[in-house]
Amino acid sequence: MTTAIFFELDGTIVQRSTDEHPLRTAFEAEVGDVDEEWVDHFDEHVETYRAEVAENPHERALADVCEQFGLDAEPAQLAERLVDELLAAETVSDDARESLRKLGAANELGVLTDDPGEVTDRRLDHHDLAEQFEAVVTAEDAGARKPDGAPFELARERLPAEEYVLVGPDYERDVEGARAAGFVPVHYEDGDGPDFWATLNALV
């Protein structure tokens, strides 16, 4: 039986190495200052754009911040710096890399993510993960975010298999969404660490 294993990158394979919001560092670098109201305004608006599956959600939310607070900054440049800071604050553990190598030897691997396509591409390149996956499906590609069925259907189209698995950290979007779409859900909870990857290897 052929099995396709998809991953939501953020919070599973890729982990944050700090709790510091990367936008704070981006503002300090590009504007020379940072205010918590700017960060809160961004967080609220970027989530709205992501829920709408809008293009360039980071840049749009930053344009809103610049307009709302009269910042003399270029939203596109801020968005670029934000992703730079995000990547700099991320890590991929050796256990995760080893598990991907082992899983990929006998299964087809893919990415099924709610993150914007540009961020996903840069994340895969930055962490040298692109060659590990046969297919990458983003919410932008499908026109909807999990738990909607569209991303799962697109994953099936891009990576034909007899059985499908989704590994993700969000219970509603990843676990319930996967189950409803006929995928086997594997819930990654923060702090699972190496034991999670050993368990996943045993399951498949």
Which pLDDT tens digit goes with each residue over 37-53?
999 999 999 999 999 99
pLDDT, tens digit, 9 for 90 and up, residues 150-192: 999 999 999 999 999 999 999 999 999 999 999 999 998 866 6
- CB of 204 closer than 8 Å to CB of 165: yes
User: Which of 61, 88, 115 marks a domain boundary?
Assistant: 88
Number of domains in the chain: 2
pLDDT of residue 80 exceeding 90, the answer is: yes
DSSP 190: T
Share of the chain above pLDDT 90, in %: 82
Q: Which residue has the tokens 């968005």?
A: 79
114 shares its domain with 147: yes
Q: What angle do CA 43, 47, 48 make, to 5 degrees?
A: 120
Q: What is the mean pLDDT of the chain?
A: 92
84 shares its domain with 95: no
Q: Any idea what the CATH number is for the domain that residue 104 is in? A: 3.40.50.1000
48 shares its domain with 80: yes
Domain hosting residue 41, numbered range: 22-88
pLDDT of residue 193 exceeding 70, the answer is: no
84 shares its domain with 111: no
User: Quick one: pLDDT at residue 156?
Assistant: 98
Q: How far apart are CA 183 and CA 131, in angstroms?
A: 23
Question: In the numeric block, which tokens belong to residue 92?
Answer: 């991929």
User: Quick one: pLDDT at residue 57?
Assistant: 95
119, β-bridge pairs: none
Q: Residue 203's pLDDT band (boundaries 50, 70, 90)? A: low
